[in-house]
Structure 1
Amino acid sequence: MTDERFFNDDPVDGTASSPDLLGRETYARHAVGVLQRVRRQSDSGVLALIGSWGSGKSSVLTMVMGLLAEETDEAWSVAELNPWLYSDLESLTLALFSEIREALPKGDRWSTARTTLAGYARAISPIGKLGSLVGPFDASGPLKGIGDRIEGDTSASATKRRVEEALREAGRPVLVVMDDLDRLMPDELLLVFKLVRLVGRLPNVHYLISYDERTLLDVLRRSDLVGGEASRAREFLEKIVQVRLDLPAFRERDAGEMVERALSAVLGAHGLGFDDAQVRRFSAVYFGHLQDRLSTPRAVKRFFAQVDASLGELVQDVDVVDFVVVTFLRTMEPGLYALLSRHRGELTGAAFMPSGGDRIARWRELVRGAGVAAEHVEAVLRILGTLFPAVGRDLESFESVASEAAHARLGVGSEDYFDRYFTSAVPDDDMSEAAFDRALAQVPVSTGVEYAEFLVRLRGDTHRVTRRIRQRIDRGDTLPCADLLVLLAVEYGSYTAPAGVLGLVSAEASVRFLAPLLLGSIPEDERAVCVGRMARTPGGTALAAITLGRVIVPEGGDVAGAAGPGLDAWARDARGEIVGACRLHLAHSATGPAVSLSDRDVELLLLWQMFMPTQVRAWVREQLDAGTWGLLDLVIRLAPEDITYPDSAGALLRRADDLVGLDSALQELTTCLDAAAPDPSATGTSNPIADERRTRVLNILRNCRNSRRNGE
């Protein structure tokens, strides 16, 4: 790690171990010069160092005290008083004089001043208060003390005169420093001002107090003395403070330099760096949205402390820019951060957005409801637009991120990586990027801890696994593509993941989308062998055939091209592997009736038809002519699973035409068609499922025959 100390909120003193990175020492020297001038012109003065919370007031005070300690010509004694520790004027007064007394040098020259200060404290404090400070004592002591006060010249006024003379003669200026007065309660604050203004006005005793002015005025307005009037609060404060020392503003340049140092420190500590695209993205979101909120040194340190503390486990598993921005929201807007988790699906596009109405207004209302201040709502919305595609689209923002880009960079806007930004590590149901890469490397040998986990994820979380593999293909990673295809084929039919993409895409469909990319990444002279390895099971044959078809037939192209003579040599060889596998896996079906054909058998028939239509039609005719299959039973099995779907009739007729010949089928089924019963849905009759399916298929065939007869 660099010398950035994110987790240390102690004041900076300008030493090598705590360097002054903002040039505050220059202002501290200015403050010391003002103190010297005030001392020459006034016996006692009150100076106020004013700045917002986190702006560096405590650091300037620390440097002022350090500079005064180095003074040789006009040496100062410094007393620090923490008013938070005292709840009443008597205790606070005793503490003040105790601190002044301790601040004075121990030599004989100052012994009189030290002694008279102790006497003044006794004179102005109740006996009980002194007793509480010194511990248990018998009853005769306090009574005797009261008598001594009455008899001798020990009144507060007399003692104060002696203190003033002693301090004046000592000639040693004392600076009493009190920090963070704005954090006191109203009554406590008035006690401090009463002490400074009245009791503590002593020769050569000066006060340097610090506070955030806006907060202090708010505290004063809550007191009975001021009564809620802002003007009275300011007038009261002006009576107390003689000299204002307004801390220089934390300029945009200062903030930018501090952020750059802090960011470099965090990245360096974790072995990271920004590429050009990340630099542009971070710069846009920082100057556009974060800069106004990181307006004090403390805010910058606090923010990057959170980044540094949280990033460790996730350093290779998130997009660092997204992580920094999400950490900003977690630090500055914790209510909103919690809201994001509850709206994961909407933000990542994994769930439907509520329809109707103004979606931007809805996002705005959600942000407000999360406790975001009114003046920050629009900026926060734009920040969300840079992270989440759904919000960016609704905002129509030029800063919005595309879904593909969010996924490619492991962004929070991707449903695959969202959860990583809301945990301290990769979730249990996820695999880290390193583990995933190791699993892919183990695929050729089918062993390894990561491979075993990968196999579980492939079956149960198919969509995410296939997207992550595709991501690596897109960025040009070297993958065992052939072995991956064989694995996908072996597992084809065993995927248990629920449908993804809003419930519209099955797990097998996700595999079918990925497989052509893998096959296209294999050298052409190795593709046919790979297809043959895939086609060792019925399910694998189906996947291999679909994959080959999508590779050799361009999207939107004529499927008939898969059966044509113009294929490349590797494609012809691969087609031969598919056809042979289809014939092999369908051989068992020739021994039983057509009603026994499985869904996979039907799929293989249709895929075989895509590559060798004449061959498969001849094979089917063999089964029909041999009496193994009945024609009507076969046509019923060719019907789509959902026979009521609008295009199911068209699909059935196309399949029958491809495998049997529609004209021939209609002719052979004349007797059945003439005897077809009316559609049960029209008559209201109730039949078993099989009978209903049979009836619907016959109705489709009859309607087709009638249309042809009528020349339609």
Structure 2
Amino acid sequence: MEDKNYSSDSPIHEQGQDRFSRWSFSERVAQVISKRSDPSSIVIGLYGIWGDGKTSVLNFIEKSLESDKKVICIKFNPWRFGTEDELLTGFFFDIAEALDAELIKTGDKLKDFVKKAAPGAGAIMGAKGAGEVLGSFISGPDINELKKRIECELESAKRRVLILIDDVDRLEKAEIQALFRLVKLTADFKYTSYILAFDKDVVAASLQDRYSSAAENSGEAFLEKIIQVPLHLPAVEKQVLREFCFQGVDEAINIAGISLSEQQVQEFVRDFSAAFDDCLTTPRKAKLYGNILMFSLPILQGEVNPVDLMLLEGIRTFCPSLYEVLRINKGLFTGSFRDSYYSNNDDEKEQIRNLLDDALSRGKNINKAGFIDLLKNMFPKLQSVYGNMSYGSDWYEKWNNGQRICSENYFSRYFTYAIPKGDISDKVIQELFNESEKWSEPFGFESNPLNEILNDSSAEALIKKMRHQAGKINADASLALAVAIAQKSDDIPNPEVFYSWMTPFSQASMLVSDLIQNVQKPDRVALAKKCIELSASLEFKLEIFRWLKREDENKPEKDAFSEACIDEIGKHLGKIINDKIEGRGDLTKLVPKSIPTIFYTLNKYVRNEYVNDYVAGLISNDSEALVRILDSYVPIAWGMESCISHKSDFEREQYNSLTGQLDASIVLNAIQDHFHQAMDVSDDFPRVYDDDVEKGVLFLEQFVWLHQYVLREWESEEESHDSEE
């Protein structure tokens, strides 16, 4: 029962549920009313802000009088009534019904008087104002008779009536005004006491509107005329509220199944106390925070940093305006100020300061310095906004690994309570690692364990997440995952982008290399060869080989493949390519983007002069193959303004690269035999800006021009050498 009441926002009724020492206060109020001998009416105002526990105190007062035969407690909730005439008749009917149950033993019930009088209230309401209706109704003969009979019955029974009126401050302004006029006009009932629970400022403001032509404090003045005994709820000590709040936090953490380290607990308590202590003004605020955590922590368990989430939910609870600023300004608060030594970030910093100042100024009970300290800890970028400390991009991996809100990859999760589209759940990643230890490879196409998770839309996020965690994967899981990824390489996107190594395709090959490094050193060559062999595409075979970690003489401690191991793997790759060629495969059509890498691999790891023989035979069967070869060496260029990709030119760098693997004479002879018009080039390097011109023809002309230029260079160098001799 206690847990249920704690987790919900329900008022409490029992003394054993009292956490804020309100029972003794309530009991004293009840005893004063019970022992009062004066028959005149009394109106008590129970003042407290919204959520301070006024309803619970009314419940305690009622409970403490439960066994007191001298007092009849009647609860009247004006919030149940939609109109003023309903409020009026409901008030008397509730009193009559309660007294009928307690006092009236005959068949002549008090509520019958109300039923007789009530029909007239609506008719009068249509013609008169609320004040006149109340006066007419209460001064009418039936109500006067009801009043006399009630007073007579109470005096005869030596009992009193205590009317508890709650939720006054939740009414509309007109309803608040009507209720207080009702209380004012009925306050002369003998043996009757009222306790009205409300936020004094809210009610006074509503009454002020009614008497706007009067003095500035007319609302409070009106209250003073009606409320004879103003009582403020006893203040709850800050430490008690904090403990109550932290009990809710503990319960939410336990429900979510989250285990915090001692350091995490200390970080949370430090930041919570610095920022939110002044915001803990009522038990309801404390309870609301715990309830929010019970919702958010289980949903995002394992997907975000729990301390960051708990602190963010604190911001949402205690300063909603700040929460909104954070939610819609991801770019301002994630990451760090890049290249801070070379660029001016003053405008962005000023923007951040202005946004935060405005948001904090709109909050209530805000300790600005405490909130700024909290934000600096949650978003390290702010350390350079409010100080001189800066963080470099080397911190990004730490923030990613910690699932921090300051990470661009995790920020959105904290606000959507879900994994954004295109992202992958960290739980899914962890389950994948755990399950992969049990996989038996190699897999068939339909039985690959990654079929359900790796596809065109998920590849980028999945590979990025796996790369971040690659160092933590054990040898068995690494072996199985490397093979599975290689087999699924056809499903990994490889778009044309400025930085080709940032594509999911290249990142996946790097991941395979990372995984290979996780197995025992004697097993790595075999695994690398297996991944190359089982890769679904020739491009991915080449990409795996490209990103294998090689020993560096400048870093002898680095655990990587030796030159001998690389040579062994390269020969294995070369054989695979050779088998493709012997199967009459035209590589310029099969893998046009990878021709330069293939030529290098064939000459180095299969046989020197291999490419010369292959290309010569290829061109004799299909002269257009020469154009495709040149095209494969030309890089993609990107428009500075349009950002549209297009083929660049075949320039000196491409000439050197091609002729390093293929004899220039083979290319030149093929151009003479099949594209003789390209041999006639001008003195200027051929550049054509007309989109209608065939790029392939242009590349042939550029090769011829460069070849002639290189020949002239050699001749000049030989002449210079001869003259020196």
Do Structure 1 and Structure 2 share a fold, with TM-score over 0.5?
yes
Q: Which range is displaced more, 454-463 or 426-435?
A: 426-435
Q: State the 1:404 CA deviation.
A: 2.7
Distance across 1 between alignment mates of 2:390 and 2:260:
19
User: How do 1:415-494 and structure 2 match up within 5 A?
Assistant: 417=410, 420-421=413-414, 432-440=425-433, 441-442=435-436, 444-445=440-441, 446=443, 452=449, 454=451, 457-475=454-472, 480-492=477-489, 494=491
SS in 2 for 1:552: coil
Change (3 A) 1:319 1:458: farther
Residues 274 and 371 in structure 2, CA contact (< 8 A), matched pair in contact too: no
The letter of the residue matching 1:530 is L
Distance across 2 between alignment mates of 1:686 and 1:156:
100
1:185 maps to: 172
Distance across 2 between alignment mates of 1:95 and 1:130:
12
Selected match of 2:569 from 564, 577, 581: 577
Residues 462 and 510 in structure 1, CA contact (< 8 A), matched pair in contact too: no
SS in 1 for 2:58: helix
1:216 paired to 2:203: yes
Change (3 A) 1:501 1:286: farther
Distance across 2 between alignment mates of 1:451 and 1:593:
29
The letter of the residue matching 2:510 is F
Residues 314 and 424 in structure 1, CA contact (< 8 A), matched pair in contact too: yes
Distance across 1 between alignment mates of 2:272 and 2:258:
19
Distance across 1 between alignment mates of 2:237 and 2:266:
22
SS in 1 for 2:519: coil
Q: State the 1:693 CA deviation.
A: 1.7
Q: Which range is displaced more, 648-657 or 536-545?
A: 648-657
Q: State the 1:239 CA deviation.
A: 1.7
Distance across 1 between alignment mates of 2:669 and 2:496:
41
Distance across 1 between alignment mates of 2:617 and 2:172:
100
Distance across 1 between alignment mates of 2:305 and 2:396:
14
Distance across 1 between alignment mates of 2:183 and 2:689:
100
Change (3 A) 1:532 1:308: same
**What's the TM-score, normalizing by structure 2?**
0.74
Selected match of 2:290 from 293, 304, 327: 304
Distance across 2 between alignment mates of 1:304 and 1:571:
60
Selected match of 2:695 from 689, 696, 705: 689
Distance across 2 between alignment mates of 1:173 and 1:502:
86
SS in 1 for 2:3: coil
Q: State the 1:51 CA deviation.
A: 0.9
Distance across 1 between alignment mates of 2:142 and 2:561:
116
Q: Which range is displaced more, 19-28 or 447-456?
A: 447-456
Distance across 2 between alignment mates of 1:404 and 1:340:
22
Deviations 1:583-636 (A, max 9, x none): 441465587999778332421333567xx58x7655446658999799997983
2:596 maps to: 602
The letter of the residue matching 1:552 is E
Q: State the 1:511 CA deviation.
A: 1.7
Distance across 1 between alignment mates of 2:43 and 2:498:
68
The letter of the residue matching 2:347 is D
Change (3 A) 1:56 1:271: same
Gaps of 5+ in 1: 133-145
User: How do 1:197-236 and structure 2 match up within 5 A?
Assistant: 197-223=184-210, 225-227=211-213, 230-236=216-222
Distance across 2 between alignment mates of 1:661 and 1:385:
62
Distance across 1 between alignment mates of 2:578 and 2:50:
79
Deviations 1:206-262 (A, max 9, x none): 111110112112211221x34485411111112221222211334432332122111
The letter of the residue matching 1:268 is N
Aligned Cα root-mean-square deviation (Å): 5.4
Deviations 1:106-163 (A, max 9, x none): 78xx66999897799699x57734999xxxxxxxxxxxxx9xx99xxx6877875675
Q: State the 1:542 CA deviation.
A: 1.2
Change (3 A) 1:473 1:535: closer
Distance across 1 between alignment mates of 2:192 and 2:634:
97
Change (3 A) 1:8 1:458: same
Residues 439 and 450 in structure 1, CA contact (< 8 A), matched pair in contact too: no
Residues 475 and 519 in structure 2, CA contact (< 8 A), matched pair in contact too: no
Q: Which range is displaced more, 278-287 or 96-105?
A: 96-105
SS in 2 for 1:79: strand
Provide the identity percentage. Answer: 19
Selected match of 1:659 from 661, 666, 674: 661
1:26 maps to: 24
1:253 paired to 2:262: no
1:238 paired to 2:228: no
1:77 maps to: 72
Residues 168 and 197 in structure 2, CA contact (< 8 A), matched pair in contact too: yes
Q: Which range is displaced more, 174-183 or 618-627?
A: 618-627
Q: Which range is displaced more, 399-408 or 685-694?
A: 399-408
Distance across 1 between alignment mates of 2:101 and 2:561:
102
Residues 329 and 337 in structure 1, CA contact (< 8 A), matched pair in contact too: yes
1:140 maps to: none
1:358 maps to: 347
Residues 384 and 390 in structure 2, CA contact (< 8 A), matched pair in contact too: no
User: How do 1:240-639 and structure 2 match up within 5 A?
Assistant: 240-325=226-311, 327=313, 358-360=347-349, 373=362, 403-411=396-404, 414=407, 417=410, 420-421=413-414, 432-440=425-433, 441-442=435-436, 444-445=440-441, 446=443, 452=449, 454=451, 457-475=454-472, 480-492=477-489, 494-496=491-493, 505-536=502-533, 538-548=538-548, 550-553=549-552, 572-586=564-578, 589=581, 598-606=592-600, 612=604, 617-620=608-611, 636=630, 639=633
Distance across 1 between alignment mates of 2:689 and 2:253:
74
1:136 maps to: none
Q: State the 1:304 CA deviation.
A: 3.0
Deviations 1:72-128 (A, max 9, x none): 7xx422111222345777765655455445555978xx66999897799699x5773
The letter of the residue matching 1:252 is K
SS in 1 for 2:230: strand
Q: How many residues align?
A: 671
Deviations 1:175-218 (A, max 9, x none): 11111211223333233223333323233311111101121122
The letter of the residue matching 1:534 is C
Q: Which range is displaced more, 84-93 or 363-372?
A: 363-372
The letter of the residue matching 1:652 is Q
User: How do 1:42-191 and structure 2 match up within 5 A?
Assistant: 43-71=40-68, 75-86=70-81, 95-103=90-98, 125=117, 128-129=120-121, 164=151, 167-168=154-155, 170-191=157-178
The letter of the residue matching 1:12 is I
Change (3 A) 1:263 1:478: farther
Change (3 A) 1:603 1:403: same
Distance across 2 between alignment mates of 1:278 and 1:501:
41
SS in 2 for 1:69: coil
Change (3 A) 1:275 1:648: farther
Residues 495 and 507 in structure 1, CA contact (< 8 A), matched pair in contact too: yes
Distance across 2 between alignment mates of 1:640 and 1:682:
15
Distance across 2 between alignment mates of 1:408 and 1:367:
27
SS in 1 for 2:687: helix
Deviations 1:284-311 (A, max 9, x none): 5423444444532223333333332355
Residues 498 and 506 in structure 1, CA contact (< 8 A), matched pair in contact too: yes
Change (3 A) 1:251 1:476: farther
Distance across 1 between alignment mates of 2:680 and 2:594:
31
Residues 534 and 540 in structure 1, CA contact (< 8 A), matched pair in contact too: no
The letter of the residue matching 1:691 is V
Q: State the 1:528 CA deviation.
A: 0.8
SS in 2 for 1:202: coil
1:141 maps to: none
Q: State the 1:484 CA deviation.
A: 2.2
Change (3 A) 1:588 1:513: closer
Change (3 A) 1:396 1:200: same
SS in 2 for 1:544: helix
The letter of the residue matching 2:23 is E
SS in 1 for 2:259: coil
SS in 2 for 1:659: coil
